[in-house]
Homo-oligomer: A and B are copies of this chain.
Amino acid sequence: MFNRILLTHGSGGKLTHELIKTMFVKNFSNSALNQLADSAVCELPGKKIAFTTDSYVVNPVFFPGGDIGKLAVCGTVNDLSVAGARPLFISCALIMEEGLETAVLEKIIVSLRDAAKKANVKIVTGDTKVVEKGGADKIFINTAGIGIVYSKARLGTQFIRPGDVVIINGPIANHGMAITALRKGMQFETKIQSDCTNLNEITGALIGSLGKGIKFMRDATRGGLSAVLNEVTEGRAWGIEIDEKSVPVDEPVRAMCELLGFDPLYVANEGKVVAIVAPESAEKALKIMRRYKDGKGAAIIGTVKPGLKGRVELKTLMAGRRIVDMPVGEQLPRIC
């Protein structure tokens, strides 16, 4: 093996094959992948699928609480999960910069493997490209994912009604602030960790128990909680009212946001699902979430209100009100 990735590793020849065997097959091993065919051939347990893709360009690639590999599995697993699906298969395509240390790559591969194992998904197909030094920044990962939609799932903004309740599974803004702390060299003081995790257990349990009682789910990533809520309310006669004192924010995260002038509502998460549920299902949804490690901090944070005309409004700690807009500028580039 080489200590660094060479252009030849992306040529489709001998070194590409060596890399695939010593890194991917070794770590991801499963019957579909090991064929090393142009496509993985898989049997699905149903015909109604969810299909998603995301590229990950996070910088730096290693951060407190995770790395680009863990992120690439969790992010795609979560996109399938909030669509009401059970994630099954993941693809993994790497774009690497010539000169990337093989040890760095291996650490990321192991992280992809462990995250896939934890989320109970199989990495069944992949691709490797290498671009010349300076043509890309270290490593970018794309994952696409396939899941089977639960037969009990009936999700969509069209099912939301005034009176429905907005729930989140824990404190917000940890991922964005962990990356920011790292970039600013503040990570040792703050010890803020990314919340990067897979949400498929929580979402599967919610759908299994609540059925039609759960109307909508989305993971709050780039753009934070505010982007999700604004996407939900856009063009509707109703709106969402959020109660600031109910929105969970860890103390070090809140302190750092204040110090740097960030609004936690706009900061990225990588393990937070926003669920909108019928009022009679709200307490049950909370209980289900709290059964899981990543749902211990679950909270009811707001309500769907008639007459707000597509707006998201925040009842502030001072009992004032302000509109929470869709994020406009770029707070933190390459956060995921």
The residue that A333 contacts in the complex, of B17, B132, B137, with Cβ under 8 A, is B132
Stretch at the interface among A75-83, A102-110, A177-185, A283-291: A75-83
Report chain B residues within 8 Å CB of A112: none
Chain B CB within 8 A of A205 CB: no
> Judging by beta carbons under 8 Å apart, are A222 and B11 in contact?
yes
Name the B residues within 8 Å of A57 (CB-CB): 95, 129, 131, 135-136
A135–B132 touching, CB < 8 Å:
no
Interface residues in A8-63 by Cβ distance below 8 A to B read 8, 10-17, 35-57, 59
Interface contact A49-B41, CB-CB below 8 Å? yes
B80 contacts A39, CB within 8 Å? yes
Q: With both chains docked as a complex, state the minimum distance between the C-beta of A272 and any C-beta of chain B, in angstroms.
A: 13
Check A85 for interface membership: any CB of B closer than 8 A. yes
| Proximity string of chain A (257-280) to chain B, C-beta cutoff 8 Å, 1 when within and 0 when not | 000000000001000000000000
Question: Is the CB–CB distance between A328 and B14 below 8 Å?
Answer: yes
Residues of B within 8 A of A328 (CB): 8, 13-15
Majority secondary structure, A binding face: mixed
Which of B42, B46, B47, B331 sits near A51, CB closer than 8 Å? B42
Known: A38-B82, A129-B334, A130-B333. 6 other contacts (CB 8 A): A6-B330, A37-B218, A39-B147, A42-B51, A51-B146, A54-B93
Set of chain B residues within 8 Å of A268, measured between Cβ atoms: 12
Contact yes or no, B219 A38, CB < 8 A: yes
Least CB distance from A98 to B in Å reads 8
- Given A38-B83, A39-B85, A82-B38, do A142 and B51 touch, yes or no (CB 8 Å)? no
Contact of A149 with B by CB under 8 A = yes
**Is there contact, CB below 8 Å, between A38 and B131?**
no
Residues on B with C-beta less than 8 A from A142 are 53, 55, 93, 127, 142, 144
Most buried by B among A36, A38, A124, A327: A38
Assess whether B51 is in contact with A89, with CB atoms less than 8 Å apart: yes
Chain B residues positioned under 8 Å from A82 (CB to CB): 38-39
Could you say which interface size class chain A belongs to? 35 or more
| B38 and A79 contacting across the interface, CB-CB below 8 Å | yes
Given A146-B146, A218-B38: A125 touches B52 (CB 8 Å cut-off): yes
5 contacts between A and B (CB under 8 A): A7-B333, A12-B268, A38-B82, A39-B85, A47-B47
Measured between beta carbons, the chain B residues less than 8 angstroms from A55 are 93-95, 127, 129, 142
A320 in the interface (beta carbon within 8 A): no
Q: Is A140 positioned at the interface, with any CB of B under 8 Å from its CB? A: yes
The answer on a CB contact under 8 Å between A326 and B140 is no
Give chain B residues whose Cβ lies under 8 Å from the Cβ of A135: 57, 59, 136-137, 334
